Amino acid sequence: MAIDTRGETADKPSGGEKKKRTSPALFYRQVVNELRKVIWPTRKDLVTYTTVVLIFVLIMVAIVYGLDAALGWVVLRVFGGS
């Protein structure tokens, strides 16, 4: 269920009008309303997402380390190293 808030937030002053400031109370109410719309992940989802991210990061670290070691070996062979 979408709520159209464009009338409150997207009004742009025309010409020389000053833009009306949002009061702290209205801002807080808008933040709370937006947070109520968020679908928070369950603990199971959170564990799954965290596991996937950690595995992906470990794979990327291994790839970067492998490429660095291989290219370093190639450079030492081409340019001669001790």
Dihedral angle over CA of 52, 57, 62, 67, nearest 10: 130
Q: Which helix (H) or strand (E) holds 77?
A: helix 43-79
With bands split at pLDDT 50, 70 and 90, how would you rate the model's confidence at 6? low
Q: Which amino acid is at 67?
A: L
pLDDT at 58: 98
For 7-49, how does the pLDDT look when each residue is reduced to its tens digit (9 = 90+)?
555 555 566 677 788 899 999 999 999 999 999 999 999 999 9
3-state secondary structure 13-71: CCCCCCCCCCCHHHHHHHHHHHHHHCCCCCHHHHHHHHHHHHHHHHHHHHHHHHHHHHH
pLDDT at 75: 94
CA distance 79 to 82: 10
pLDDT at 3 over 70: no
